[in-house]
Amino acid sequence: MSLNKKSVDDFCAKGRRVLVRCDFNVPLKAGVITDDTRIVAALPTINKLLNDGAKVILCSHLGKVKNGPNEDESLAPVAKRLAEKLGKPVNFVADYNVTGAAATAAVEAMKEGDVVLLQNTRFRGSEETKNGEAFSKELADLCDDYVCDAFGSSHRAHASVAGVTDVVRAKGGNCAVGYLMQKEINFLGNAVENPVRPFVAILGGAKVADKLNVINNLLEKCDTLIIGGGMAFTFLKAKGYEIGKSLVDLEKIDYCKEMMAKAEKLGKNLLLPIDTGIAAGFPNPIDAPIDVTYVDSDKIPADMEGLDIGPKTCKLFADAAKAAKTVVWNGPMGVFENPVLAKGTIAVAEALAEAEATTIIGGGDSAAACNQLGFADKMSHISTSGGASLEFLEGKELPGVAAADDVCGRKKIIAGNWKMNMTPTQAVELCGTLKDLVKNDDVDVVYCVPAIDIVPVVAAVKDSNVKVGAENFYIEDKGAFTGEISAPMLLDAGVEYVIIGHSERRDIFGENDILINAKVKKAFAAGLKPILCCGESLALRKAGTYKEWIRRQIKWDLDGICACNVKNLVIAYEPIWAIGTGETATAEQAQEVCKLIRDYIAELYDADTAAKVRIQYGGSMNAGNAAELLAMPDIDGGLIGGASLKADFGKIVNYNK
Ligand code: PEP
């Protein structure tokens, strides 16, 4: 699973209806919110979208909703508090149906910068929790784009987290993550997949059984694995120690032995408590005064119970944490709710607070311990969710994370431009011929086909890696425009990309930069991905003025297009003298202009936008010259005419094999 996800910075939300899945599962007492941390945490994403001019539709669950919709679990108090925090009205749709007629009417009445909050998604019962298709579609029908900012729900494949994204994506919308989600993914993802070493993982908490997969996964990723808390006693027992009345999971003794053997085999440091704080029994109530003594961990008397790590262990664990560059901590070291038994947890928290390392705290008890003991602001990141962060550390794919679009990272894009070739029958035949030849996960493969071939080609490439593009479209949605085809028509037929400003449309059909610019704007607004063509004639090349020409085309064609849209743009540099002539630009000539375009985008926008825009070369690209052209640093793919109509196209797509 890629963790490089599209964020709210990576698409243009202006004028669009954006559904944001938040985590507004706040604690309530008699209808009053007792802690609004989760509402406050959602504000940066909401404000960013509002500032961009989006129509922001918010949804969330609240509570478990065990007995069906009810006023106690309504999001009404959230709407009120959110309006105070945002300093603007929040139109709350109280309807228990969540997505019914009231929601549709509220969304239809929205203007840019308005906020609507839908009712508790769990009021739809199993339609939400079982990822129901109908509810997913109803949610998707309310919006153009979707943003998930509910990390605490991202380990659940619910309709408002997972199912909705399939429908939004299918209609050309963006599925992105909000700032909260992005931060969680960055910290937890980097720690587990790409840690700065030494990487130390500290696990605690009561039961081994709760963390079987976490131990197994982290053992493979980290350099040192520290085990404290109640779960350490099962490991100590597995070592043959007497552990008195301490918590033990007898069924997991063999598992602990297996993990200790695995650590040894992998050359990993597995640290267990060497001394233990013991008492006659568990404190009752939990914060009751208690008499604690410290003994070596192999000398716990039969009538005593281990309830915390001892001072020698505190030093051992703290030294390991301080030597680390990355530390992940999940689970307290003892019964930290009792001040006498909090010493081990405090020692670990203190060590992390002092450590130079990136320190990441899994949610749940360890987050509560950090907050309660006053160390929260000393940690690099405290996860907002126990359950989701634990599944992340287990190496599991989180449905809410997987559902967001990947940032393509300038993945190569090989697009065929069929021009006015192929009858529908021939088109289907060609799809059949190419079917097995164009499989390559490293590249995006697109067939841009004549309008009449779109429907059969979409059907022919269904369930394959091939996306379908149009060769042209018009800027209006419908009406008296004889011979034209609109963005909604293309989207409805399953088209994802559209070529805009091909030199043949400019030269033969008289399209100018004003119309081309309007088409780029319309494509983005509608959810089509434009492939914008530019390129110079032979005369301009010979005259040596081609660079100025290209810059002028780019400037005019991108006039008024925002950076976040340009990041999702494909530009095809197609020198007219090389199109259909068999005369290819050399790799150096093509690279020179593709770099010039990228540098110019940096000048018009910024370096980040320039680094993200994909630039293709087009002009007699074929199986013989593709590899050399595509090896150039600023060439991110090809737009291919003649060679896209034969088996050769498969060789171009597989240029890197
Ligand atoms: C094109 O028309 O976009 C093109 C690049 O054609 P060819 O590959 O045939 O030169």
Calculate the CA dihedral of residues 603, 604, 607, 610 and round it to 10 degrees: -110
Please indicate whether residue 621, judged by its CB atom, sits closer than 6 Å to ligand 1: yes
Say if 220 falls within a structural domain.
yes
Do both 177 and 276 map to the same domain? no
The ligand 1 atom nearest the CA atom of 499: 3
Distance 502 CA to ligand 1 centre (A): 10
Q: Is the peptide bond before 285 cis (omega within 30 degrees of 0)?
A: yes
- Answer whether residue 105 shows pLDDT above 80: yes
Distance 639 CA to ligand 1 centre (A): 7
Do both 564 and 485 map to the same domain? yes
Do both 447 and 584 map to the same domain? yes
pLDDT band at 190 (very low <50, low <70, confident <90, very high): confident
**Inter-CA distances, 374 with 30, 70, 349, 370, 465, Å:** 28, 37, 9, 6, 51
What average pLDDT does the segment 627-641 reach?
97
Domain limits at 591? 412-653
Q: Give me the amino acid identity at 158.
A: H
Do both 619 and 475 map to the same domain? yes
- Answer whether residue 189 shows pLDDT above 90: no
**Which residue has the CA at smallest separation from atom 1 of ligand 1?**
641
Domain termination site, one of 122, 155, 183: 183
164 contacts 139 by C-beta, under 8 angstroms: yes
Handedness of CA 552, 556, 559, 561 (dihedral sign): negative
Please indicate whether residue 620, judged by its CB atom, sits closer than 6 Å to ligand 1: yes
Q: Which two tokens stand for residue 41?
A: 């945490």
Do both 166 and 210 map to the same domain? no
Least confident piece of the model among 3-7, 234-238, 325-329, 566-570: 3-7
Do both 493 and 523 map to the same domain? yes
* Full DSSP string of 126-141: HHHHTT-HHHHHHHHH
The ligand 1 atom nearest the CA atom of 579: 10
Do both 170 and 231 map to the same domain? no
Domain termination site, one of 160, 183, 206: 183
Do both 325 and 447 map to the same domain? no
Please indicate whether residue 640, judged by its CB atom, sits closer than 6 Å to ligand 1: yes
Mean pLDDT of the chain: 95
DSSP 8-state class, residue 231? T
Give the total number of structural domains in the chain: 3
Do both 602 and 626 map to the same domain? yes
Please indicate whether residue 638, judged by its CB atom, sits closer than 6 Å to ligand 1: no
The ligand 1 atom nearest the CA atom of 417: 3
Please indicate whether residue 585, judged by its CB atom, sits closer than 6 Å to ligand 1: no
The ligand 1 atom nearest the CA atom of 644: 8
Which among 557, 534, 451 has a CA at the least distance from the CA of 498?
A: 451
Please indicate whether residue 357, judged by its CB atom, sits closer than 6 Å to ligand 1: no
Kind and range of the H or E element at 213?
helix 212-221
What average pLDDT does the segment 75-92 reach?
98
Say if 376 falls within a structural domain.
no
Q: Is the peptide bond before 198 cis (omega within 30 degrees of 0)?
A: yes
The ligand 1 atom nearest the CA atom of 621: 8
Task: Please report the pLDDT score of residue 209 as a whole number.
Answer: 87
Distance 383 CA to ligand 1 centre (A): 51
Please indicate whether residue 639, judged by its CB atom, sits closer than 6 Å to ligand 1: yes
* Full DSSP string of 9-40: TSS--TT-EEEEE------EETTEES--HHHH
Least confident piece of the model among 260-264, 383-387, 533-537: 383-387
Do both 173 and 254 map to the same domain? no
Q: Which two tokens stand for residue 374?
A: 């006053």
Please indicate whether residue 642, judged by its CB atom, sits closer than 6 Å to ligand 1: yes
pLDDT band at 1 (very low <50, low <70, confident <90, very high): low
Reported as a single tens digit per residue, the pLDDT across 389-398 is 888 888 888 9
Say if 367 falls within a structural domain.
no
Domain termination site, one of 159, 183, 207: 183
CA angle at 209 for the pair 252 and 382, rounded to the nearest 5°: 140
Please indicate whether residue 256, judged by its CB atom, sits closer than 6 Å to ligand 1: no
The CATH number linked to 251 is: 3.40.50.1260
Which among 121, 144, 157 has a CA at the least distance from the CA of 25?
A: 121
Say if 327 falls within a structural domain.
yes
**Which residue has the CA at smallest separation from atom 2 of ligand 1?**
641
Say if 382 falls within a structural domain.
no
The ligand 1 atom nearest the CA atom of 581: 10
pLDDT band at 202 (very low <50, low <70, confident <90, very high): very high
The ligand 1 atom nearest the CA atom of 638: 5
Q: What percent of the chain has pLDDT over 90?
A: 89
pLDDT band at 365 (very low <50, low <70, confident <90, very high): confident
**Which residue has the CA at smallest separation from atom 7 of ligand 1?**
641
**Inter-CA distances, 386 with 20, 24, 332, 461, Å:** 22, 16, 13, 42
Q: Give me the amino acid identity at 651.
A: K
Mutate to test the pocket of ligand 1, among 504, 507, 576, 579 (most ligand atoms within 8 A of CB): 579
Tell me the three-class secondary structure of 326-362, residue by residue: EEEEECCCCCCCCHHHCHHHHHHHHHHHHCCCEEEEC
Please indicate whether residue 618, judged by its CB atom, sits closer than 6 Å to ligand 1: yes
Say if 452 falls within a structural domain.
yes
Distance 101 CA to ligand 1 centre (A): 49
Q: How far apart are the C-alpha atoms of 556 and 509, rounded to whole Å?
A: 18
Distance 621 CA to ligand 1 centre (A): 7
Say if 8 falls within a structural domain.
no
What average pLDDT does the segment 172-199 reach?
92
Supply the Cα-derived Rg of the chain in whole angstroms: 29
The CATH number linked to 427 is: 3.20.20.70
Task: Please report the pLDDT score of residue 80 as a whole number.
Answer: 97
Interstrand relation of 224-227 and 28-29 (parallel, antiparallel or unpaired): unpaired
Which among 557, 569, 572 has a CA at the least distance from the CA of 637?
A: 572
Interstrand relation of 224-227 and 269-271 (parallel, antiparallel or unpaired): parallel
Task: Please report the pLDDT score of residue 395 as a whole number.
Answer: 86
Q: Give me the amino acid identity at 278.
A: I
Please indicate whether residue 584, judged by its CB atom, sits closer than 6 Å to ligand 1: no
Do both 81 and 128 map to the same domain? yes
Distance 622 CA to ligand 1 centre (A): 10
What average pLDDT does the segment 13-37 reach?
94
- Answer whether residue 372 shows pLDDT above 90: no
Task: Please count the residues of the chain.
Answer: 657
Distance 396 CA to ligand 1 centre (A): 44
Do both 498 and 541 map to the same domain? yes
Structure-model confidence comparison of residues 657 and 430, the more confident one = 430
Distance 4 CA to ligand 1 centre (A): 33
pLDDT band at 214 (very low <50, low <70, confident <90, very high): very high
Say if 153 falls within a structural domain.
yes
Residues designated as active site: 502, 574
